[in-house]
Amino acid sequence: MSEHRATIRWTRTSADYTYDTYNRAHEMIFKDGAIALPASSAPDFKGDIDRVNPEEAFVAALSSCHMLTFLAVCARKRLIVDVYEDDAVGVLDRAPSGKLWIARVTLRPRVRFADGAGADAATLAELHHKSHENCFIANSVTTAVTVEPRG
């Protein structure tokens, strides 16, 4: 159907190359170089806290995809959304195999509808359920994703 591309660019910056000394800083490049996102490993893995790490990007991709799907579902139902904000959290854990993985992601969206376009708790839960079922990214991963609407 469609392709989505990213270029990841890293260059060694130190004379020695050991686990403790090699730099983790790199760039995630999109749109043929038009967008370059400074990235690194997570601080727990000797990365730079001021750069996005792959775990954060993974959580953000799930959150963003859910939001975009939610907005589409609402638009089709003629429910006008004014503001959507999500404080998503991913948890890195050990799988039964002993390997590290993002075991679960919790989305905590807060939605504000336009005046007169609000949804009760049951409707909001159904909108998020339908959004999760149709989110491309959520459908592509084995990580447990939970949606906990915050109002």
5 pLDDT band (50/70/90 cuts)? very high
The pLDDT tens digits of the residues spanning 87-115 come to 999 999 999 999 999 999 999 999 999 98
Q: Do 37 and 87 reside in the same domain of the chain?
A: no
Residues 77 and 36 grouped into a single domain: no
Spatial contact of 81 and 113, defined as CB atoms under 8 Å apart: yes
Length of the chain: 151
Name the strand (E) or helix (H) holding 127.
helix 121-134
- Split into its structural domains, the chain has a count of 2
Q: Are 138 and 106 in contact (CB under 8 A)?
A: no
**Which of 128, 148, 3 shows the shortest CA–CA distance to 65?**
128
C-alpha 34 chain-centroid distance: 21
User: If we measure between CA atoms, which residue out of 93, 126, 95 comes closest to residue 111?
Assistant: 126
Burial of 113 (0-12, 13-18, 19+ CB in 10 A): middle
* Backbone phi, psi, residue 24, to 5°: -100, -10
Co-location of 59 and 125 in the same domain = yes
| Residues 126, 68 within the same domain | yes
CATH number of the domain at 112, please.
3.30.300.20
Is the pLDDT assigned to residue 131 strictly greater than 80? yes
pLDDT-derived band at 8 (thresholds 50, 70, 90) equals very high
Selection from 141, 74, 79 nearest residue 105 by Cα? 141
**Alpha-carbon dihedral sign for residues 50, 52, 56, 61:** positive
Q: Examine residue 111 and state whether it is found in any structural domain, yes or no.
A: yes
Band the pLDDT of 12: cuts 50, 70, 90: very high
Do 62 and 36 fall within a single domain?
no
Are 13 and 65 contained in the same domain? no
114 secondary structure, DSSP code: P
Domain co-membership, 14 together with 81: no
Whether 73 and 128 have beta carbons less than 8 Å apart is answered as: no
Q: Is the pLDDT of residue 117 over 80?
A: no
Domain with 143 in it: 54-147
**Could you tell me the pTM of the whole model?**
0.93
Q: What is the pLDDT, as a whole number, of residue 119?
A: 83
Residues 83 and 58 in one domain: yes
Q: Are residues 38 and 63 in the same domain?
A: no
85, 142: one domain? yes
